[in-house]
């Protein structure tokens, strides 16, 4: 069968088909020899690829270009010289002004989530953003505060910091770290982790956080944020809850003292929530039809709330809590507490994962709209430098904000020059305007946070979509959401990752398999359970396997093969011996056909095979040959075929795999061998 002149011609012809829908289709007619894969490789001069680390490193180093590498590390050197000033500057200016008006209320509000003074939120919109302007690759993301990340940082701050008047300090906080010191140390640690990820090109690690997991996690975290703001919304004084079940305990505390709420704070909160909801749901869509610039309702709320508080003296007359002292000027640079890093490394790693995943998600969304590329690893470098710089100036870890990013793009922002414009406006707030907000009621900031998180809380409705698309995705969502909500944010993220990996592993073990039959007069082999017009070939079982074949999946592969084909070598061997014994006492000359003559393994969808998988196939080959059954392999990809050949070099067994390029080649070869034997 190795001589090309003796190979069976391969002819496909569908002239006999009379269906009206396919009469107009051209008839396919192909004639070529039947090939084994190795023979086809010789004809086509196949180039074998041997894994060689030294060659790969040599090629990588040979392509190194210092100038290009430096420009990639500092993207501003690429895009700023090509900036179209006349076309883009006005859009960037208006966008920067609009985003700055959002930074002020959001920064002040989200700083409270981190258990820090409100001015910290303005610092975060100034110092790190200037660094991201130089090193970032996204043109539109608005860096600064983000509710979930600020809340996670606040959890660590509350755990390791102590106020000046703390008397019963535990061993953990015996050094009396201030909240600012803990927060800046977290930011510095996050910067270190991001730099390590950049050096080792570990941006791909965030793929562990799937869309389903992030959706559930952010939704549950938003609930944590809402519950944390209940005390300010209702004007209550509550103990600070830490550790697991903090949300449940906080709700219990709120319910216990809700009757003691401050009536003035409750009325103010209700009024501002209603006004902002009406603006977002009614006025904003109407104005969007006439102008791209939205009403800065949060800034308006801050201004009105401050004016009312100052005019009515809410703190003295009604006991409403206000923001209090806001310093002017830029903060003095301070070094993080390096001795605290080992204690907060785990929390910082979780914050890094969440922050980077959310930032990249925002960056990719806006980049897709404007058709440009975002470098995931360069973003790690940009975030690392930004957080490192910010950690010396009282900043928490920065993250991209969805609302600010969408506004920055919608208003007409084209590049990160919009962020620089925003920074200059915020500089005036830091130097002169900040103290004007000292009388701002905290319940107004809490109202801003609650309304801003509406879309994140409504993500709960997406559970139905994920459940309908995939039960595994639905399970990941449910576990992540409820563990994050009931237990804690850290355990919720960990539980979500574990369930996600478990789902991948289990689904990887449940590979798609089927038996194939042939569509008459064609070379098309299809699933016999799904296609009713398919015929099984006499004496041949064609087993299709989709997935990987390795040490972890080899047992499942054998079980599926035996179940689908019905031929398990040990069982058939015992059955054959039993039949042979019966035939010795039988007067009939007929022999019972116990097994199929040939099993063909269709590996067109085999993604990977390791030496353990090859050894499993070799064991099957030997077992089938012992009961007079041939086993062929077909449809291997180049890397899979090369793995078979490498394993063959170390195998002393004379039984070699017969590998064909297509199922049809293997079928025709098997039929030719059968016909030869019958003669």
Exposed/middle/buried for residue 496 (C-beta within 10 Å: 0-12, 13-18, 19+): buried
pLDDT-derived band of residue 64, with 50, 70 and 90 as boundaries? low
Is the pLDDT confidence value at 263 over 80? Answer: yes
- pLDDT value of position 522: 86
Neighbours of 64 (CB within 10 A): 8
Is the pLDDT confidence value at 9 over 50? Answer: no
- pLDDT value of position 524: 92
- pLDDT value of position 111: 94
Nearest in space to 221 (alpha carbons), one of 247, 199, 197: 247
Nearest in space to 123 (alpha carbons), one of 152, 96, 102, 145: 145
> By mean pLDDT, which of 290-294, 346-350, 354-358 is the weakest?
290-294
Neighbours of 284 (CB within 10 A): 14
Is the pLDDT confidence value at 320 over 90? Answer: yes
Strands, E, within 61-154: which ranges?
A: 143-144
Is residue 527 within 8 Å of residue 487, measured between CB atoms? no
| Higher pLDDT among residues 92 and 576, named by residue | 92
Is the pLDDT confidence value at 270 over 70? Answer: yes
Is residue 37 within 8 Å of residue 661, measured between CB atoms? yes
Is the pLDDT confidence value at 593 over 70? Answer: no
pLDDT digits (tens, 9 = 90+) for 74-125: 999 989 999 998 889 999 999 999 999 999 999 999 999 999 999 999 999 9
> By mean pLDDT, which of 132-146, 380-394, 495-509, 538-552 is the weakest?
495-509
pLDDT-derived band of residue 11, with 50, 70 and 90 as boundaries? very low
Is residue 299 within 8 Å of residue 276, measured between CB atoms? no
- pLDDT value of position 654: 67
**Pairing, β 630-634 against β 658-660:** parallel
| Token couple for 216 | 């559930």
pLDDT-derived band of residue 51, with 50, 70 and 90 as boundaries? low
- pLDDT value of position 285: 87
Q: State the angle between helix axes of 341-370 and 489-509 in degrees (0 to 180), rounded to the nearest 10.
A: 60
| Token couple for 381 | 């470098």
- pLDDT value of position 584: 62
pLDDT digits (tens, 9 = 90+) for 190-249: 999 999 999 998 877 777 788 899 999 999 999 999 999 999 999 998 887 877 898 999
**pTM given for the model:** 0.79
Per cent of the chain over pLDDT 70 is: 88
> By mean pLDDT, which of 26-30, 35-39, 85-89, 512-516 is the weakest?
26-30
Give the separation between CA 75 and CA 632, rounded to whole angstroms.
54
Is the pLDDT confidence value at 578 over 90? Answer: no
Exposed/middle/buried for residue 52 (C-beta within 10 Å: 0-12, 13-18, 19+): exposed
Strand order in 630-634's β-sheet? 525-527, 512-518, 540-549, 598-609, 630-634, 658-660
- Write the CB contacts of 89 (distance below 8 Å, at least 6 apart in sequence): 417
Is residue 80 within 8 Å of residue 136, measured between CB atoms? no
pLDDT digits (tens, 9 = 90+) for 594-653: 445 799 999 999 989 999 999 999 999 988 888 888 999 999 999 999 999 888 877 766
- pLDDT value of position 75: 92
Give the separation between CA 637 and CA 629, rounded to whole angstroms.
25
pLDDT-derived band of residue 72, with 50, 70 and 90 as boundaries? confident
Give the separation between CA 237 and CA 228, rounded to whole angstroms.
12
Q: How many CA atoms lie within 13 A of 86 on its CB side?
A: 0
CA 658 to chain centre: 41
Is the pLDDT confidence value at 581 over 90? Answer: no
In the chain, where are the structural domains located?
A: 4-43+511-678, 88-162+175-237+250-503
Is the pLDDT confidence value at 168 over 50? Answer: no
- Chain-wide mean pLDDT for the chain? 86
Return the ∠ at Cα 215 (arms to 211 and 218), rounded to 5°. Answer: 135
Of the spans 288-302, 324-338, 641-655, which averages the highest pLDDT? 324-338
Is the pLDDT confidence value at 1 over 50? Answer: no
- Write the CB contacts of 262 (distance below 8 Å, at least 6 apart in sequence): 234, 235, 236, 318, 319, 320
pLDDT-derived band of residue 12, with 50, 70 and 90 as boundaries? very low
Strands, E, within 519-662: which ranges?
A: 525-527, 540-549, 598-609, 630-634, 658-660
- pLDDT value of position 3: 47
Q: Give the total residue count for the chain.
A: 679
- pLDDT value of position 241: 81
Give the separation between CA 442 and CA 66, rounded to whole angstroms.
52
- pLDDT value of position 295: 82
- pLDDT value of position 327: 92
> By mean pLDDT, which of 163-172, 570-579, 651-660 is the weakest?
163-172
Is residue 142 within 8 Å of residue 95, measured between CB atoms? no
> By mean pLDDT, which of 65-74, 98-107, 262-271, 525-534 is the weakest?
65-74
Quote the CATH superfamily of domain 4-43+511-678.
STAS domain (3.30.750.24)
Question: First CA to last CA across the chain, in angstroms?
Answer: 16
- pLDDT value of position 242: 77
Is residue 655 within 8 Å of residue 621, measured between CB atoms? yes
Containing 640, the helix (H) or strand (E) segment is helix 638-649
Dihedral angle at the C-alpha atoms of 621, 622, 623, 627, nearest 10 degrees? Answer: 100
> By mean pLDDT, which of 242-256, 259-273, 448-462, 579-593 is the weakest?
579-593
């Amino acid at each position: 069968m190795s001589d090309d002149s003796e190979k069976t011609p391969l002819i496909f012809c569908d002239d006999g088909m009379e269906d009206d829908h396919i009469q107009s289709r051209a008839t396919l007619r192909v004639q070529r020899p039947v090939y084994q894969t190795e023979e086809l490789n010789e004809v086509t001069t196949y180039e074998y690829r041997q894994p060689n680390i030294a060659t790969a490193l040599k090629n990588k180093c040979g392509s190194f270009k210092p100038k290009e590498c430096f420009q990639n590390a500092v993207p501003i050197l690429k895009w700023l010289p090509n900036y179209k000033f006349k076309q883009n500057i006005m859009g960037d200016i208006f966008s920067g002004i609009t985003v700055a008006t959002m930074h002020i209320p959001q920064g002040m509000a989200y700083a409270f989530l981190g258990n820090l003074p409100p001015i910290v939120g303005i610092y975060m919109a100034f110092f790190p953003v200037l660094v991201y302007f130089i090193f970032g690759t996204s043109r539109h993301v608005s860096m600064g505060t983000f509710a979930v990340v600020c809340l996670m940082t606040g959890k660590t701050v509350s755990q390791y910091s102590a106020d000046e008047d703390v008397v019963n300090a535990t061993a953990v906080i015996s050094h009396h770290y201030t909240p600012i010191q803990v927060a800046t140390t977290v930011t510095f640690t996050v910067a270190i982790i991001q730099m390590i990820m950049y050096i080792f090109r570990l941006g791909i690690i965030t793929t562990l956080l799937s869309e389903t997991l992030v959706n559930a996690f952010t939704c549950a975290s938003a609930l944590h944020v809402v519950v944390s703001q209940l005390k300010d919304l209702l004007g209550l004084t509550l103990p600070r809850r830490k550790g697991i079940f903090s949300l449940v305990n906080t709700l219990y505390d709120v319910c216990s003292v809700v009757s003691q709420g401050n009536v003035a704070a409750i009325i103010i909160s209700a009024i501002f929530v209603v006004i902002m909801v009406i603006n977002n749901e009614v006025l904003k869509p109407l104005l969007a039809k006439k102008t791209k610039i939205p009403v800065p309702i949060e800034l308006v709320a801050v201004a009105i709330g401050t004016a009312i508080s100052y005019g009515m003296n809410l703190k003295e007359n009604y006991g409403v809590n206000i923001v209090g002292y806001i310093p002017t000027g830029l903060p003095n640079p301070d070094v993080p507490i390096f001795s605290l890093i080992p204690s907060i490394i785990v929390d910082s790693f979780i914050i890094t994962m969440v922050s980077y995943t959310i930032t990249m998600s925002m960056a990719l969304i806006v980049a897709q709209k404007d058709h440009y590329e975002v470098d995931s690893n360069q973003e790690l470098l940009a975030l690392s430098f930004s957080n490192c710089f910010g950690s010396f100036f009282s900043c928490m870890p920065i993250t991209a904000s969805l609302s600010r990013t969408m506004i920055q793009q919608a208003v007409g922002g084209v590049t990160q020059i919009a962020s620089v414009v925003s920074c200059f406006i915020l500089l005036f707030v830091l130097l002169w305007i900040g103290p004007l907000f000292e009388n701002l009621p905290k319940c107004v900031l809490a109202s801003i946070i609650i309304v801003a998180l509406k879309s994140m809380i409504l993500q709960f409705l997406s559970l139905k979509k994920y459940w309908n698309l995939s039960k595994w995705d639905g399970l990941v969502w449910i576990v992540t959401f409820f563990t994050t909500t009931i237990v804690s944010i850290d355990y919720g993220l960990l539980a979500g990752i574990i369930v996600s990996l478990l789902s991948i592993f289990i689904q990887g073990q449940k590979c798609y398999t089927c038996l194939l039959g042939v569509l008459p007069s064609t070379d098309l082999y299809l699933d016999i359970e799904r296609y009713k017009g398919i015929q099984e070939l006499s004496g041949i079982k064609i087993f299709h396997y989709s997935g990987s074949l390795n040490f972890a999946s080899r047992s499942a592969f054998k079980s599926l093969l035996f179940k689908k084909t019905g031929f398990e070598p040990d069982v058939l061997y015992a059955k054959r011996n039993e039949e042979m014994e019966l035939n010795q006492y039988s007067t009939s000359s007929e022999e019972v056909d116990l097994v199929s003559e040939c099993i063909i393994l269709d590996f067109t969808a085999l993604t990977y095979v390791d030496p353990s998988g090859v050894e499993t196939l070799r064991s099957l080959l030997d077992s089938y040959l012992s009961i007079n059954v041939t086993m062929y392999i077909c449809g291997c990809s180049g890397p899979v075929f090369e793995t078979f050949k490498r394993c063959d070099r170390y195998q002393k067994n004379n039984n070699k795999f017969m590998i064909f390029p297509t199922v049809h080649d293997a079928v025709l070869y098997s039929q030719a061998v059968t016909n030869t034997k019958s003669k």
